[in-house]
Amino acid sequence: MIVGLIIACEVAFWVLLAAGLAFRYVFRMPRLGLALLLCEPLLEVVLFAVTAIDLRHGAEPDWRHGLAAVYIGFTVGLGHSTVKWADARVAHRFAGGPPPVRPPKYGRARAVHEWKVAGRWTLAALVAVALLQAAVWYVGGHGETDSLRAWQLRMLWVIGINLVIAGSYTLFPKAEPKAEPKAEPKAGPKGGPKGGPNGGSEREPAKMR
């Protein structure tokens, strides 16, 4: 049941996102589009409530309850940036908006970008860890919580990997490739630029004779 609800929430997320952007930019109904986008957090509320009720009715905590907590955490941490990413591209395609800004590739700007990405993933993982810990406390000392603890450990790995990636761009920034020097004009028969020693024709004009 929990896994099916997670899949349904993921499908509903993208359906609401597509519908919201379509009404906002294609059908020129921005208020309705915004209303559909604002319904996105309700999906996490429903999933959280169903998971809590399932545990309250005596269900043994397992990987499915942990997956639900992780899904909610990642939606909280990454959902807004996903909506913003899609909004910029649809606005550019259908509403004459500016081209989407591409992330920087080199130097300090790239390092700052990577830290922002790491921050979003860290927030997602921390929310998941907090929900998992709440589930552990909710179950109490008499319940089986090993699967929930295992999910917490995975989230700590996610945080660590993202911090290492962002730190690598700070300690070893990617240098921008040097521009190639402009090609010099080809030399003519007498050693000057093509066409003569002074860059003109090899023959002097008649009026200069």
- The stretch 62-70 carries a mean pLDDT of 93
Looking at residue 207, its pLDDT comes to 43
Predicted confidence (pLDDT) at residue 143 exceeds the cutoff of 90: no
| Residue in 103, 102, 113, 106 with CA at minimum distance from that of residue 175 | 106
Residue range 81-95, pLDDT digits in tens: 999 999 999 999 998
Looking at residue 56, its pLDDT comes to 82
| Residue in 68, 18, 54, 69 with CA at minimum distance from that of residue 39 | 18
Looking at residue 106, its pLDDT comes to 94
**Which are the contacts of 153, defined by CB distance < 8 A and separation ≥ 6?**
none
Looking at residue 189, its pLDDT comes to 56
Class of residue 166 by CB neighbours under 10 A (exposed 0-12, middle 13-18, buried 19+): buried
Looking at residue 129, its pLDDT comes to 97
Stronger pLDDT, 200 or 28, i.e. the higher one? 28
